[in-house]
Amino acid sequence: MKKIIGILGSTGSIGKTTLNIISKNSNYFEIKLLSTNNNIKLIKKQIKKFKVKNIIIHDLNSFNQNKIYFRKKNIDVFHDINSFQLSKKIKFDYVMCSISGLKGLEPTLKIIKSSKNIAIANKEAIICGWNLIKDELNKFKTNFLPVDSEHFSIWSLLNKQIDNQKDKIEMIYLTASGGPFFKFSLNKLKNIKPKQAIKHPNWKMGKKISVDSSTLMNKIFEVIEAKNIFDLEYKNIKIFIHPKSYVHGIVKFNNGLIKLLIHETSMKIPIFNTIFQKNEKKFKSKKINIDILNNLELSDVDNKKFPVINLLKDMSKELSLFETVIVSANDELVDLFLKDKIKFTDISKNLIKISKFKEFLRYKKIKPKNIDQIVKLNNYVRLKIKSLSV
């Protein structure tokens, strides 16, 4: 019997990689749902190739412009996850949630009740709304699968267990490549242009996440994610710079053992292993690179070159709305940089400055209660940052 699959964000990088894996193992799966924001050209190709009958187009204008076309093709098209779930009573064996940004939080939360297993590649959802996600996972007994390479690695080293693991862990180490400017001087960093910052040396990623990698903000987010997912304290999580991106996670256990996980710089590997959890299929990969293994080049983070590392000192122990402030402020600052309105070094400098604002510090004491609370705060922070920058 084929497994029922849904992919939210099927036209993005993670979504396309997931479909690539499924296409090579089509006898195992049936895709019942795809979604896109507004990439109509690509989703048409995906529908045809995988014979999909249900799609969500999240962008309202794109939905209105294309709904008649799809319905004439006998494709059930929806604008949001709510209307899809009201119409269809599908129970998915596996759902990949890869919609980027905070707009991915609501679809992720909503699809949990329709999923047996859910892989979440949306950082913002886990950072800002993990308590809401956790409640839904528990309520509907849905299995959560971390798909980010670092969290997938830690999860694997913990024998694919998340709950009740913290007493076994002394320290978790997440590795960061250092991005394209790791060897640049501080003076040289001031003159970085957007076209330089979007070229990651090891991974093929989108513009925004590539900039986050170059400032190390992406790794700060992953520390917050790890703290939430594995129920740890910040003092139990450390970042190592590892330019070769061969080691993805290290766990030092309380019993003295240290385990590390290595794989190629390809998201196909973590995605493949969340889809095939029982090793029922083989993944064709390269031989071990002995040259890299003999010279891993792990090092501590230079907080002068990567000042955002200091943000971790200011994060509250418990999940709060302050994480939404940081995510939203960073989103807006990166957007301003990509539009060439601020300097590269202004991203980190302003982010640290903003994190000290009294009006934002109060959110450290407020736990997210619902999606609306997070969305409203995100909009407010972004407007505030934009006005300050102008």
Side chain identity, residue 350:
N
What's the pLDDT score for residue 201?
67
Whether residue 386 has pLDDT greater than 90: no
- Residues sharing a CB contact under 8 Å with residue 240, sequence separation 6 or more, in sequence order: 173, 174, 175, 176, 250, 298, 299, 300, 301
What's the pLDDT score for residue 186?
83
Q: 61-75, 81-95, 144-158, 199-213: which has the minimum mean pLDDT?
A: 199-213
- Residues sharing a CB contact under 8 Å with residue 55, sequence separation 6 or more, in sequence order: 33, 34, 35, 36, 43, 47, 70, 75, 76, 77, 78
What's the pLDDT score for residue 390?
54
Whether residue 236 has pLDDT greater than 70: yes
What's the pLDDT score for residue 204?
66
Angle between helices 149-157 and 268-275 (to 10 degrees): 50
Domain map (residue ranges) of the chain:
3-146, 147-310, 316-390
Q: What end-to-end distance do the CA atoms of the chain give, in Å?
A: 57
- Give the largest CA-CA distance in the chain: 63
What's the pLDDT score for residue 153?
96
Mean per-residue pLDDT, 195-200: 80
What's the pLDDT score for residue 288?
92
Mean per-residue pLDDT, 163-174: 92
Per CATH, the homologous superfamily of domain 3-146 is NAD(P)-binding Rossmann-like Domain (3.40.50.720)
Whether residue 60 has pLDDT greater than 80: yes
Q: 158-167, 289-298, 332-341: which has the minimum mean pLDDT?
A: 158-167
8 A C-beta contact, residue 121 and residue 14: yes
Mean per-residue pLDDT, 234-245: 95
Spatial separation of the C-alpha atoms in residues 204 and 372, rounded to whole Å: 33
pLDDT in tens, 73-110: 999 999 999 999 999 999 999 999 999 889 999 999 99
pLDDT in tens, 262-279: 999 899 999 999 999 876
- Residues sharing a CB contact under 8 Å with residue 333, sequence separation 6 or more, in sequence order: 342, 346, 347, 350, 351, 385, 389
8 A C-beta contact, residue 174 and residue 301: no
Please state which architecture CATH assigns to domain 316-390.
Answer: Orthogonal Bundle (1.10)
pLDDT in tens, 305-327: 999 999 998 898 999 999 999 99
pLDDT in tens, 287-296: 999 999 999 9
pLDDT in tens, 97-153: 999 889 999 999 999 999 999 999 999 999 999 999 999 999 999 999 999 999 999
